[in-house]
Copies of this chain bind each other. A is one copy, B any other.
Amino acid sequence: MWTQFKFDVSTRGRGTYDITREVEHGVGESGVQTGLMHLFIHHTSASLILCENADPAVRSDLESFMSRTAPDGDPMFRHDQEGTDDMPAHVRSILTESSLTIPITNARLGLGIWQGIYVYEHRHAPYQRSVTVTIQGEG
């Protein structure tokens, strides 16, 4: 059994956007009992993360960490056509994930209690980000 659909996330600048509910809904619709859900983001300056979902400070601390590790306007970077956040966004995407795969168990997405699924927008400007969800398994 295969289900595949695409959806867009409208980002409003750098930060994390919770998509857990949306993809959990897709699992329910699919009829899959045991299987896997795969998420893929079709971009190189936004990414996907699994992150602690209880305290928003975790995601702002993560942002602090990324800002220090791959700072905007780093003079080391030559690729800055789209601005000082252009190359850092590519680096951040590579340090995180372009895809996530999560088990489906008893027809539910098998996330841990504290795991949420987020699109991580690395650019400061707003963007439309496309995510493809592929669900497979046995019914």
Question: Which residues of A come within 8 Å of B, CB atoms?
Answer: 2, 4, 34-36, 38, 40-45, 49-52, 55, 57-58, 60-62, 64-65, 68-70, 76-79, 81, 87, 90-91, 93-96, 98-103, 105, 110-115, 130, 132, 134, 136-138
A and B contact pairs by CB, cutoff 8 A, 18 listed: A2-B34, A2-B138, A34-B134, A36-B38, A40-B101, A40-B103, A44-B52, A58-B90, A60-B78, A61-B77, A61-B90, A62-B90, A65-B70, A65-B77, A69-B69, A98-B100, A103-B132, A110-B132
When the two chains form their complex, are residues B76 and A64 in contact, meaning their CB atoms are under 8 A apart? yes
* Secondary structure class of chain A's binding surface, majority of residues: mixed
